[in-house]
Amino acid sequence: MSEFIMDRLSQLLGRVKPGDPIVLEGRDIPSVAKFLKSDECKNVFLMVGAGISTSAGIPDFRSPDTGLYANLAKLHLPYPEAVFDIRYFSQNPKPFYTLAAELYPGYYRPTITHSFIRLLAEKGKLYTCFTQNIDTLERRAGVPVEKIFEAHGSFATQRCIKCKTEYPTEEMMQHVKKAEVPHCNSEGCDGVVKPDIVFFGEGLPDTFESAIRNLEEADLLIIMGTSLTVYPFAALRSMVPAKCPRVLINLDRVGDIGARADDVALLMACDEAVRKLCDEIGDGWTEDLERLWAETENSYTPRSAEEPSVIGKGDKAKVKEGKLPNNPHLEDEVARIAKMVEEKMKVGDEEAGPSKEDKPAAAEEPQPAEPAEVSAASAKPEPSGAPKAGAETPALEKPAAVAELAGATHPTPHYEDGELSVPQTKPSEEGPEGGDK
C-alpha cells in the first residue's frame, strides 16, 4: 500500500504518457548500447543499490530468503531494521558493531558492475553515481570520489554521536574487527562513535538537495540493483527530464519503469547486463571493462571460511510467525508520508477534472506500457558461517500503530526537522519534474 502511494506521487510529479520510443530505437540492449555510445549521450546518471554488490558476497537488505533483514535473528533484535535505527543504536550499539565486523569495507572485492561505473567515468560519460550502498565498493573500484554521491553515507568516515567530533579511521578499524563499540576520544565526552551512515530517523546529507538538481542535465539514467522502495532516494527516477531514457537493470521489475516512452527493463543480474552492454558497444569497451575489474583483484582481504557469521538463514518463518516484528518506529513516519501524498494526489486529481464515474484516483491512471524485458536466471549468494549466540537487547517503546501502512514493506523516510519536503525542478515541455528530498 505505502509503496503504491509513493509511486503514485512520483507519477503525479513527473507524468509522461508512454508510447513508442522517442530517443531510443527500441527497448533492448542494442538500442541502449547504441545510444550510450553516441555523442548525444554525454551525461549519464546512475542510481544503484545493494543488488550490484550481492555477487561480491554482500547480502542485499530486502530479499525474502537471502536478504540481510530476513537473517538477523542471531542479534536478538526487536525488529530487523533496528540494527540501523538511530534510537536503538543510541540505547545499544553492540548489535550494529557485531554486524559491522562482517560487513566492514575491506573484506569484499568490487564486482564487475562497480568496474563498469568506473569505465563510464573513464569514457567521460558519468556525471554522478547516486548510491544507496554503504560498502564503499564504488571507491574501491576506482570510481572518482567526486563522481559518487553516497546518499545513505558510508563507512568511509565516522564521528561521535554526542559531540560530533571525527574519530580516527585506524582506531575505528581496530574496534570493528573485534566487534567492539568505539567511544569518543574527546576529553569529558565518551560518547558512542558511529560511521557516517544514514540510519533510520536521520536526515540525508546536507548536499543531497543540491546534488539532485543536476538530474535536469541527464541524457541517460541507469538504475541498477535496487528495489526502489527507499524514499526519498527512489524518487530520483522521476526527476530526470521526460525525454531522458531510463534503463532498469534488476532481477525484478520495480517502480514505475515502463511509464515513459524510453523506459527499458533488462531483467537480469547486473554483472551479466553490463557485460552484454559492453559487448554490444564494441570499440574495446569489453576489454577495458575486464582490465579495470582485474585491477581490483588485490583490493581486499577475504574473510576466512572459519570465521563465524552473524548472518544466518531461516528467520523468514519467524517473521511470518510474528517473532521478528516489523519496525514500529517507522509506522508514524509512514503515516505522515501517506497523509502528505494523499494531499498531493488530491491536488493532482482536482487539476485533472472530475471523473465520470465514482472511482478511486488510481483507476483513472493510464496503465504503463510494458517495456521489453531481457530475462536471465541468476543465482544469489548464500550467507555463510554458523550463527553466534548473543544476549537479548532492550526493545524500543512502540509508537502508535498504523494499521494498513505498517505492512511487511516499509519505505525508509528521512526527514529534516520532522518534515519531508518535495523540491521542485524546472518544468520541461513534456511535463513537470520533481521528487522527494
Q: What is the pLDDT of residues 206-256, one digit of tens each?
A: 888 888 999 999 999 999 999 998 888 999 999 999 999 999 999 999 999
pLDDT digits (tens, 9 = 90+) for 143-190: 999 999 999 988 889 999 999 999 999 999 899 888 899 999 999 999
- Cα distances (Å, whole numbers) of residue 428 to 171, 234, 258, 431, 434: 50, 21, 19, 5, 11
More confident residue, 2 or 250: 250
Q: Which residues contact 400 (CB under 8 A, 6 or more apart)?
A: 331, 332
Q: Specify the pTM.
A: 0.66
Note whether 45 and 219 are within 8 A (CB).
no
| 183 noted as active-site residue | no
Give the C-alpha separation, 368 to 257, whole Å: 8
Above 60 in pLDDT, residue 310? no
298 pLDDT tier (thresholds 50, 70, 90): confident
Above 90 in pLDDT, residue 142? yes
Spatial CA neighbour of 241 closest among 35, 435, 36? 435
Q: Which of 152, 175, 410, 414 is catalytic?
A: 152
Q: Max CA-CA distance within the chain?
A: 70
* 162 CB-side CA count, 13 A: 14
Spatial CA neighbour of 341 closest among 90, 105, 8, 48? 8
Q: What pLDDT does 77 receive? A: 84
CA 162-165-170 angle, to 5 degrees, is 115
Give the C-alpha separation, 146 to 87, whole Å: 31
Q: What pLDDT does 286 receive? A: 98
Q: How far is CA 405 from the centre of its chain?
A: 21
Question: Per residue, what are the HEC states of 374-401?
Answer: CCCCCCCCCCCCCCCCCCCCCCCCCCCC
